[in-house]
Chain A
Amino acid sequence: MILGPIAVGVFSFQVLKQNTYEKLLAVNDIHTREFVSRHIDERYKILVDNQLIDIKSYVEEYQREVISEISSNESYEGSFIIVEKKSGSVFYDEAFFNQLDASYFDSIDYGNATEFVVGSKHYVVSKYTFSPWDWIIYGIYPADSIEALLKDVATTVFLVCALAVLLLFAGTIALSHFFLIKPVDKMSRFAEKVANLKLDEKLVLEGPDEIKRLGKTLDVMKNKLSNNLKKIEKANEELAQFSYRASHDLKSPLTVTKKISEYVLKDIDSGDLDEAKINIKRMHKQICSLEALVSDILALAKADLAAENKEIVDFELIISELKEKFKLILEEANCELIINLNINEREVYGEKIRYQQIIENLISNGIKYRDKSKPNSLVRLAINYQGDFLEIEVEDNGVGIPEKNQPELFKMFKRFHPKLSSGSGLGASIIKKHVDHLGGVIVFESSNAGTTFDIKVPINVGASV
């Protein structure tokens, strides 16, 4: 990071040095030329004009004036050296070269001198000859002073560049932190939480649109995961609850039957055959309820499987089977079943068993929960088309579902009229499962005047033709 500004500094120094050195040479040359013309040439002209050029004392006086002027020019940073070729004398400002002795100038080859190096000081040189007096005039100017200045400039350039690079670097870090590292860091923490299934945090990323979009996508992903997880948790909880209740309800009649059978043996041994007979009936009742429960559990399990091939559902057949099945039960219950089938215009394609179990369960409930205090018990079944839906409506004038229990109607193992029927409490769950699998909806209205179930199923759901 530091090499760049150094390179820029060195480069600018070199360029400036070269440029400035050339300018310095030019300026020094002008100064020297001016010195020659104003201090030497003009004096010479005065001597020529006044015809004093041949008078040696005048000439020498004027030459001394020039030489003394070399030393008196204090405001000027440069200086001049005059060499008299004939005598080899060198005149210079002793104050200017104060650390030198005269022998230094002996070693200079004046004819070829293009630069002066005095000690550690460098000077640029401009050389003129003044032939009338056989003089060589050197105008010199310290190159070091300009070099120091240039070094200052180069240092400034270096510092400015370094600062710029530093700012750029810091800016890049800050920007990358804001636009990249921070969102990535946030994302990684978010991913870690998601991995640990902690899904309550919302991810919002700041930064360019791409990052924001990524944040949104991840958040959507998390929400979907969360929803699915909730569904799984709910299903798991339902399954746990189901297996608890199912195993409980399966074990209960077995335990009772086993224990009662022991008493039956005792009763027979003790000759109490009447008690034994009653207890055999009790056992029979337990076994019947166990059988009913197992059938319902199987029905519930089947409701989750696409057990049958899809076909055109023959509702006429379902209804004739239904009538046969419920004939005796209806007679015993003194209950009337009225059927209204209006589905001739279109065919329904699907699994027969689902429709069959829905209808059978609803009618069975209607009969079971009839109101014995009412003179005519009846259950009415109507199947109609409602647009693209098949509507199955079952209405009864039974006891109704108590209002406080209505929200729990489709929950498993719920029985609201235990005195009227000793069912498994799974009937409504079975209906609901089938309706869900058919993509339909089920609603009900219930009061002590009776209950109406209304099911709407989209026609030909899942049809492959």
Chain B
Amino acid sequence: MKNLPILIVDDNEGDRYLLTRQLKDTQLPISKVFEAENGEDALEIFKNYEEYLAQNPSNYPPLLVFLDVNMPLIDGHTFLKEFNELRKRENLKSIIIMMFSTSEREEDKKNALEYDFVKDYLIKGTFDSDQLKERINDLFSFEC
């Protein structure tokens, strides 16, 4: 893999900034960072497939999604439920989701990891860029 477009879904701008900066520090070939403030906006990014593809011909769809749990309107859990339906009809099968939350609640972890496309659960503030790189490398193989 040469290019990895990603999507960060989080209602806190500070969190989105931090993750973006940490991802930059990993020096992984991240080609584009999409951002969404909540689950509803994130779903829109996948629902309007053609439109986004036209705008980002080489970087769409994002192959890795960092998803927060507690968000207004549509939270992480509801997003997962709806995305699970969405990927049945769209060409979204290869998308991997890493949870990215402050919540360490077992209930939240269990619920998220039940979906086979959810591959990891990161707790905010508990990892540095090296560890983040390792976690992503576990999921994708990049060509050097």
Contacts and interface: CB of A to CB of B under 8 A. Distances in A.
Chains A and B bind each other: yes
Contacts of A263: 18, 21
Interface stretch (B6-14, B44-52, B85-93): B6-14
Nearest to A415: B72
Interface residues of A, number: 27
A414 B71 CA distance: 9
Interface string A331-365: 00000000000000000000000000000000000
A68 interface: no
Interface of B is mostly: loop
A260 B14 contact: yes
Contacts of B139: none
Contacts of A405: 73
A198 interface: no
B105 interface: yes
A126 interface: no
A245 B70 contact: yes
Contacts, number: 56
A258 interface: yes
B18 A256 contact: yes
A282 B70 contact: no
A256 B12 contact: yes
A256 B14 CA distance: 6
Interface string A260-280: 100100000000000000010
A245 B70 CA distance: 8
A285 B102 CA distance: 18
Contacts of A282: 13-14, 17
Contacts of A244: 103, 105
A418 B102 contact: no
Contact of B72 (A255, A279, A416): A416
A416 B73 CA distance: 6
B120 interface: no
Interface in B16-47: 17-18, 21, 37-38
Interface string A222-256: 00000000000000000000001100110111011
Contacts of A283: 14
B22 to A, nearest CB: 9
A62 B70 CA distance: 139
Given A414-B72, A418-B72, A260 B17 contact: yes
Contacts of B17: 260, 279, 282
Contacts of A413: 70
Given A244-B105, A253-B14, A282-B17, A258 B72 contact: no
A252 B102 contact: yes
B124 interface: yes
* A245, A256, A425 interface centre (most CB from chain B within 10 Å): A256
A216 to B, nearest CB: 42
Contacts of B71: 418
A255 B70 contact: no
A419 interface: yes
Contacts of A248: 70, 102-103
Contacts of B102: 248, 251-252, 255
B69 to A, nearest CB: 8
Contacts of A259: 18, 125
B72 A286 contact: no
B32 to A, nearest CB: 21
A257 interface: yes
Given A282-B14, A419-B37, A252 B124 contact: yes
Contacts of A245: 70
A257 B70 contact: no
B124 A255 contact: yes
B101 to A, nearest CB: 8
A256 B15 contact: yes
B70 A418 contact: no
6 contacts: A248-B70, A255-B102, A255-B124, A256-B125, A416-B72, A418-B38
Interface of A: 244-245, 248-249, 251-253, 255-260, 263, 279, 282-283, 285-286, 405, 413-416, 418-419, 425
Q: Give 3 nearest A-B pairs by CB, closest first.
A: A256-B14, A415-B72, A255-B125
Given A255-B124, A285-B14, A418-B38, 4 more contacts: A244-B105, A245-B70, A257-B14, A415-B72
